[in-house]
Amino acid sequence: MSPSRGLSYVLPSDQLIEFMAHRFAALKTLRILRLTAIKDFYGEREKAFGEIIEVMSPNLYRADVAEQPGTRLVVHNGLKTLRIINGTIVSGLERDHFQYHFLLVAQGPRRILKILQHENINTNTVSLTRFEGKIAYMIGDKKEGNPRLLVEKDRFLPVLLMCDDCSVRLSDYREIAEETWYPYQIVYSPYGSTAEEYSVQDVTINPPLDVTQFSIPLIRAQFSKSGP
């Protein structure tokens, strides 16, 4: 067998996901300080602000504008997402778009496969592709526009998540602990809406987090009382 043919071997999805999960196995909780830039269709910046992101494995997420509580608060817990804008609740139960955060913290491979299947990604199909000049594994159907996950071949890091109604690009991975990387540039693009670009400023690994700050009923009650 020639070396070129050996390089074409494609891992099955369960083994590929296991290698990817291992990259983030040490990250039980994260606190992230990032700069969020909201841009319009022409790529012009509309708004920029600092955010504090807290993530707890397996499925807790919170984002709040730095030093401006309630200005833009997003809390995700399980299958529920709550958004608060300028102190007012603007949404309750709805389909979430935060699954990519949970690819970047400690997860079991089976749970990751369920996350991908929840996003309508065909986890039975794996192929090799090229993304931004590098070879990557693609989990999902090859047909253009189909949901898929691209994983960098050399380091087993996720670089692109395409869902039915949004895409997420993850780049500029930096080593935040031994053999553990995190993307410092993330572009979240809902189809038919403005894009959000996240530039990570600082990452704290495994800080103690208060579970109650992810409680949607408690937060909903808090802001319902503070409303008019």
Quote the Cα angle for 183-185-191, to 5°.
110
> Given pLDDT bands bounded at 50, 70 and 90, which one contains residue 68?
confident
> Given pLDDT bands bounded at 50, 70 and 90, which one contains residue 42?
low
- How many other C-beta atoms are found inside a 10 Å radius of the C-beta of residue 35? 14
pLDDT beyond 90 at 81:
no
160-199: pLDDT as tens digits? 999 988 899 999 999 999 989 999 999 998 876 778 899 9
Contact 81, 91 (CB under 8 A): yes
> Given pLDDT bands bounded at 50, 70 and 90, which one contains residue 97?
low
pLDDT at 41: 63
pLDDT beyond 80 at 45:
no
Task: Pick the range with the lowest mean pLDDT from 81-90, 165-174, 218-227.
Answer: 218-227
DSSP symbols for 90-123? EE-S-----GGGGGSS---HHHHHHHHHHTT--T
- Mean pLDDT, the chain, whole residue set: 87
116-135: pLDDT as tens digits? 998 899 999 999 999 999 99
Domains of the chain by range and CATH? 9-226 (2.50.20.10)
Contact 81, 74 (CB under 8 A): yes
Question: What does residue 214 show for φ and ψ, rounded to 5 degrees?
Answer: -105, 5
